[in-house]
Amino acid sequence: MVQSSVLGFPRIGGQRELKKVTEAYWSGKATVEELLETGKSLRAHNWKLQKEAGVDIIASNDFSFYDQVLDLSLLFNVVPDRYTKFDLAPIDVLFAMGRGLQRKATETTAAVDVTALEMVKWFDSNYHYVRPTFSHSTEFKLNSVAKPVVEFNEAKALGIHTRPVILGPVSYLYLGKADKDSLDLDPITLLEKILPVYKQLLSELKAAGANQVQIDEPILVLDLPESVKEKFQVAYDALVSESAPELTLTSYFGDVRPNLKAIESLPVAGFHFDFVRVPEQFNEVSSILKGEQTLSVGIVDGRNIWKTDFSKAAKFIKAAVEKVGAEKVIVATSSSLLHTPVDLENETKLEPIIKDWFSFATQKVSEVVVLAKEASGDDVATEFAANAASIKSRVESSITTNPKVQERLATINESLATRQSPFPERLAVQKEKYNLPLFPTTTIGSFPQTKDIRVNRNKFTKGTITAEEYETFINKEIETVIRFQEEIGLDVLVHGEPERNDMVQYFGEQLKGFAFTTNGWVQSYGSRYVRPPIIVGDVSRPKNMTVKESVYAQSLSKSPVKGMLTGPVTILRWSFPRDDVSGKVQALQLGLALRDEVTDLEAAGITVIQVDEPAIREGLPLRAGQERSDYLNWAAQSFRVATSGVDNSTQIHSHFCYSDLDPNHIKALDADVVSIEFSKKDDPKYIQEFSDYPNHIGLGLFDIHSPRIPSKEEFVARVEEILKVYPAANFWFNPDCGLKTRGWPEVRESLTNMVNAAKEFRAKY
């Protein structure tokens, strides 16, 4: 019999229960008991759902209150001292590490002020994990309340036998970093020290009754140095033992072949590979199986929302069965389903024809089961026939194809993607035109999305207020933001984006070729979830999308107000993309649509325009090689298609979240000013890396994921550090990213301190 397996299920709840209770807890409106209870009931719900669907291998420990990597750091005592000295409850330590904590002293408790740990993208996804942060004084030890064991027992009590999932030691260390007091420490050298703790955890799981563990080593899809590759053998020779459950070594999101040597002799019980992303690796990776080792075939996409093509998948599984034997094949999701929305049944507004093409986490669970049944010889003819009809309907639909868009796409050439003059010439005219001071100050775009804004947007969506009433409301918000920025002395203003629910969805809703969900939330980090639009067909722009708000904002001020757009790569990356045409085609179509928006803004007098590309880094193919260089070419080209239709005097800005970008990749966009997230980059080598960036740049000066307020002195100290290597003439002052998730009081203070710091530097230089 061929078994079925789901590598992980979304933990947020079908109605975002986790977000609601977590945020209520943070604001003091829910108790810790309510928080924990909600977590427990979500876990129970997800396990039962999978059990009832007939999944053979169900994951546990896929739940988290913030992030599964952060959970592991708490489990292993990888908690920097700065978080332990306040005597916080364990759950509060977790949140402090995830999002920082600033709390005034009370009669009974001392003041708390700690920044969050660095948060980075999980491989090429839009999920973020909290980086394990090690120092010489890190002492690994297993927490007395071991979460994976607790949750295994919890499922067991419900009569559900689960397979706990744990991030493996090599990936855990490799994905971490050295703390600022221990910059010479290479985390991978800690392997020998961490292995005993992993062993202890595994033996506790075994004692609790777990006979299998899914051990994730996702770094196997990266280019790894030899010094890391050789650690796999060391690690798994130590972990595989009589006292440990059987281990399934799990990789996803890419190609393992270049690292196959590192794992081919591991004594594990089985392997899991992602054959959705890289079906070509099947022959090579399946050849490493020896003896009883099992092959978990990741064939149901954990990263996208399209229905699995059953007939194709079944062929693939059949080949696997023929090669390794039915009793050793497991049909699985390609990765955890964390990256997909919870349940298509929650969608009531989707056009039925289009809805029929989709499959969310709950539906994918069934897909895995049906495919395993088919491979076991069970009768699933009805399910297969329905699936074939859906697949056919999509292939033949006219919704996907727009000949006009395809014609225009064919006209793209280098000149369409090149500004009139090189940067130095543009800079000269822009200096004259805008007359900005040294160290110009600006923000990234959004201002706090207050409750008032959400309430009014909801009313407008529901039709309880009219379009005019809504517009009046939005204009009032814009005015507040403009007046605030003028008052504290920012130089280049923004309108604050109050009309936008989300920086991608807002554009998707106005472009043709997209579909939307009402409940298709996916966790991005912590309690922040996104609702990615779905690209279903060729993309075009029926009419302008942002001119009205930008023109209104500019009419209120003599300072330049930035037009604010989301770039083509980011719209593509933060949507669920088509799987029937390439990413390149989709990005260039978006580039053309945005080009028209940029030139419309310019014509309307908005001549400082920011085109955000925060997702450009995460889209980078995980391995060096042809695919990566192709990506870099089309990503930059689609940005330049969008931004090159303007005059030299129009100042194009761009913004990127995360600075572990290669400055060369940013150069290729040829924006006049870029801002990048930077405040968590403690290591001076990063400043160095950007020091010869030729155009203007703002290295983000404060963390916007945290409510913490940096003082003016803190800004000054940081910028002094930066200006040791960085040319003052090119340097802008800005936060890391948009301020939409923050509250007004902290935004007011942080920005005031930042502007005052800039003034201090102007006086000095």
β-pair partners for 294: 270
Q: Which is nearer to ligand GLN, 212 or 441 (CB)?
A: 441
> Phi then psi for 62, rounded to 5 degrees?
-90, -5
C-beta separation of 231 from 217 below 8 A: no
Q: Which of 587, 500, 577 is nearest to 545 (CA)?
A: 500
CB of 735 to ligand GLN, least distance (A): 9
740 contacts which partner out of Zn ion, ligand GLN, none, CB within 5 to 8 A by kind? ligand GLN
60 vs 442, beta carbon nearer Zn ion:
442
Residue 361 CA to residue 351 CA, distance in Å, equals 19
CA dihedral 24, 30, 31, 33 (to 10 degrees): -90
Q: How far is the CB of 67 from ligand GLN (least distance, A)?
A: 18
Q: By CB under 6 A, is residue 445 in contact with ligand GLN? A: yes
Rule CB under 6 A: which of 549-578 touch ligand GLN? 564
Indicate if the alpha-carbon torsion angle 367, 371, 377, 383 is positive or negative. positive
Query: Whose CB is nearest to Zn ion?
Result: 737
| Nearest-approach distance from CB 737 to ligand GLN, in angstroms | 5
Stretch that binds Zn ion, among 5-13, 494-502, 657-665, 713-721 (CB under 5 A): 657-665
Tokens of 384: 């297969």
CA distance 401 to 537: 6
Judged by beta carbon, residue 640 or residue 653, the one nearer ligand GLN is 653
x/- map, 267-306, ligand GLN, by CB under 6 A? ----------------------------------------
Minimum distance between the CB of residue 564 and Zn ion, rounded to whole angstroms?
12
DSSP 521-535: -EEEETTEEE---EE
Nearest distance in Å: CB 352, ligand GLN? 33
If contact means CB under 5 to 8 A according to the sort of partner, which of Zn ion, ligand GLN, none does residue 598 touch? none
Residues within window 586-615 making contact with ligand GLN, judged by CB under 6 A = 612, 614
The reply on whether position 498 binds ligand GLN by CB under 6 A is no
Question: Which residue has the closest beta carbon to ligand GLN?
Answer: 738
Q: Which stretch binds ligand GLN (CB under 6 A): 96-104, 420-428, 440-448, 719-727?
A: 440-448
Cα separation, 438 vs 418, whole angstroms? 28
Judged by CB under 5 A, the chain residues 694 through 753 that form the site for Zn ion are: 737
From 303, 457, 640, 740, residue interacting with ligand GLN (rule: CB under 6 A): 740
CB 394 within 8 A of CB 400: yes
In the bound state with ligand GLN, the residue whose beta carbon lies nearer, of 162 and 610, is 610
Q: How far is the CB of 448 from ligand GLN (least distance, A)?
A: 11
Report long-range pairs for 480-487 (Cβ below 8 Å, ≥24 apart).
Answer: 481/447, 481/553, 482/553, 482/556, 482/557, 482/561, 483/556, 484/447, 484/748, 485/443, 485/559, 486/557, 486/559
- Helices (DSSP H) in 410-466: which residue ranges? 423-434, 451-462
Burial of 551 (0-12, 13-18, 19+ CB in 10 A): middle
364: contact with ligand GLN by CB under 6 A = no
Q: Interhelix angle for 17-26 vs 32-53, to 10°?
A: 170
How many residues contact ligand GLN, by CB under 6 A?
A: 13
User: Per CB under 6 A, does 669 bind ligand GLN?
Assistant: no
Q: Is 738 in the site for ligand GLN (CB under 6 A)?
A: yes
Closest by alpha carbon to 22, among 79, 66, 63, 75?
Answer: 66
Q: How would you classify the pairing of strands 528-530 and 212-216?
A: unpaired
Cβ 21 vs Cβ 38: under 8 Å: yes
Say which residues have a Cβ less than 8 Å from residue 32's Cβ, sequence separation at least 6: 25, 89, 91
In sequence order, the β-bridge partners of residue 496 are 446
The token duo for 46 is 């997800």
Stretch near ligand GLN under the rule CB under 6 A, chosen from 270-278, 443-451, 577-585, 750-758: 443-451
Reference 727, options 762, 750, 696; nearest CA is 696
Name which of residues 117 to 156 contact ligand GLN (CB under 6 A).
none
Cβ closest to ligand GLN, residue 3 vs residue 659: 659
Nearer to ligand GLN, 610 or 650 (CB): 610
Concerning whether 655 is annotated as a catalytic residue, the answer is no
Q: Applying CB under 6 A, which part among 25-33, 290-298, 324-332, 737-745 lies near ligand GLN?
A: 737-745
Nearer to Zn ion among residue 194 and residue 737 (C-beta): 737
Q: For ligand GLN, give the closer residue by CB, 128 or 277.
A: 128
Tell me whether residue 323 or residue 748 sits nearer to ligand GLN (CB atom). 748
Three-state SS for 30-85 is CCHHHHHHHHHHHHHHHHHHHHHHCCCEEEECCCCCCCHHHHHHHHCCCCCHHHCC
- β-bridge pairing 119-121 and 128-130: antiparallel
The single residue among 7, 632, 657, 697 that binds Zn ion, judged by CB under 5 A, is 657
Give me the least distance between CB of 9 and ligand GLN, in Å please: 27
Give the residue, chosen from 737, 751, 754, 757, that forms a contact with ligand GLN under the rule CB under 6 A: 737
Span from 126-134, 159-167, 224-232, 735-743 in contact with ligand GLN (CB under 6 A): 735-743
Give the type of residue at 658. Y
* The one among 64, 366, 446, 706 contacting ligand GLN by CB under 6 A: 446
Residue nearer to ligand GLN on the CB measure, 179 or 736 = 736
Q: Min. distance of Cβ 270 from ligand GLN in angstroms?
A: 39
DSSP conformational letter for 601: H
* CA 655 – CA 663 distance, rounded (Å): 13
- The neighbour count for residue 344, using CB atoms within 10 Å, is 22
Question: Residue 669 and residue 417: Cα distance in Å, rounded?
Answer: 10
Residue 564, contacted partner among ligand GLN, Zn ion, none, CB below 5-8 A by kind: ligand GLN
Q: How far is CA 564 from CA 320, 433, 478, 744, in A?
A: 49, 20, 13, 21
Binding of ligand GLN by 642 (CB under 6 A): no
Question: Does position 444 bind ligand GLN by CB under 6 A?
Answer: yes
When the beta carbons of 427 and 661 are compared against ligand GLN, the nearer one is 661
User: Least Å distance between CB 566 and Zn ion?
Assistant: 11
Q: Give the residue among 553, 550, 554 at the shortest CA–CA distance from 564.
A: 550
C-beta closer to ligand GLN: residue 169 or 496: 496
Nearer to ligand GLN, 75 or 657 (CB): 657
Residue 254 near which of ligand GLN, Zn ion, none (CB within 5-8 Å, type-dependent): none
- Return the range that interacts with ligand GLN (CB under 6 A); candidates 56-64, 299-307, 438-446, 600-608: 438-446
Name the 3-class secondary structure at 163: strand
- The one catalytic residue among 495, 653, 655, 705: 705
Give the span between the Cα atoms of 676 and 761, in whole angstroms: 20
The interface with Zn ion within residues 596-625 (CB under 5 A) comprises 614
Smallest separation (angstroms) from ligand GLN to the CB of 305: 22
Q: H or E element: which one contains 475?
A: helix 467-488
Give the catalytic positions in this structure. 705
Interaction site with ligand GLN (CB under 6 A) = 444-446, 497, 503, 564, 612, 614, 655, 657, 737-738, 740
Interaction site with Zn ion (CB under 5 A) = 614, 657, 737
